[in-house]
Amino acid sequence: MIGYEDVGGVHIKYLYHCRRQLWLYLRGIRPEHLNTAVQLGEAVHDTSYTRNTPVDLGAAKLDFVDGGHWVHEVKSSGRPSPADEAQGRHYCQRLHRVGIDAQGAVLHYPKTRRTQRFPYTPEAARQADEDIRDALTVARAPASPDRLARSACRGCSYTDYCWTE
């Protein structure tokens, strides 16, 4: 099972999106590569901001960090979500743990040409720690959390697993 240092950005994103999805992901059930939305996201990632270098922190892989220590993440969706903000906050927390004074996260939405900026505050740091603890709680659960309402699962790569009788 994973520990505090093993929690990555995908874990945090799934925590906010669907705890059941996180639980399944942690047990090696990973149908994402079959999902067209995920494939689109990978294409957007591969074709946006190509002059910047990704940063690999082990469990967390950031799109890039600028000279002012702002974490930049490129998102394929057109609409910002709390999961996106949580993922950016998590990356800032990881950078602080390795001694880089991250100022916050900048989320880029090329599809709608929107950008959102979230400063990394003491409150954000507290929330990032709480998110990691929540992810570890889901990881240690003996059974999967309940599935969400079917409408919330639209577009999820785990839909077949959760809704096939």
- Which tens digit of pLDDT belongs to each residue from 119-159? 999 999 999 999 999 999 999 999 999 988 888 888 888 88
Residue 107 pairs in a beta bridge with: 73, 116
Sheet-wide strand order for 114-119: 64-65, 70-74, 104-109, 114-119
Residue with the bigger pLDDT between 110 and 119: it is 119
Whether the per-residue pLDDT at 45 is higher than 80: the answer is no
- For 67, residues 6+ apart whose C-beta sits below 8 A from its C-beta are none
Segment 49-65 mean pLDDT: 87
- Using CA atoms, how far apart are residues 45 and 149, in angstroms rounded to an integer? 29
Whether the per-residue pLDDT at 48 is higher than 80: the answer is no
Tokens (6 digits) for 77 = 């969706």
**pLDDT tier at 51 (50, 70, 90 boundaries)?**
confident
68-90 pLDDT, tens digit per residue, is 999 999 998 888 999 999 999 99
> Could you tell me the sign of the dihedral formed by the alpha carbons of 93, 13, 55, 68, in that order?
negative
Tokens (6 digits) for 49 = 């901001």
Whether the per-residue pLDDT at 165 is higher than 80: the answer is no
Segment 85-107 mean pLDDT: 96
Residue 16 pLDDT = 96
- For 74, residues 6+ apart whose C-beta sits below 8 A from its C-beta are 44, 45, 48, 49, 63, 108, 110
Q: Which of 156, 119, 165, 160 is nearest to 19 (CA)?
A: 156
Residue 38 pLDDT = 75
Residue 109 pLDDT = 93
- Using CA atoms, how far apart are residues 142 and 66, in angstroms rounded to an integer? 41
- The mean predicted confidence, pLDDT, of the chain is 91
Whether the per-residue pLDDT at 46 is higher than 90: the answer is no
**pLDDT tier at 43 (50, 70, 90 boundaries)?**
confident
Residue 74 pairs in a beta bridge with: 108
Segment 22-31 mean pLDDT: 91
Segment 100-117 mean pLDDT: 94
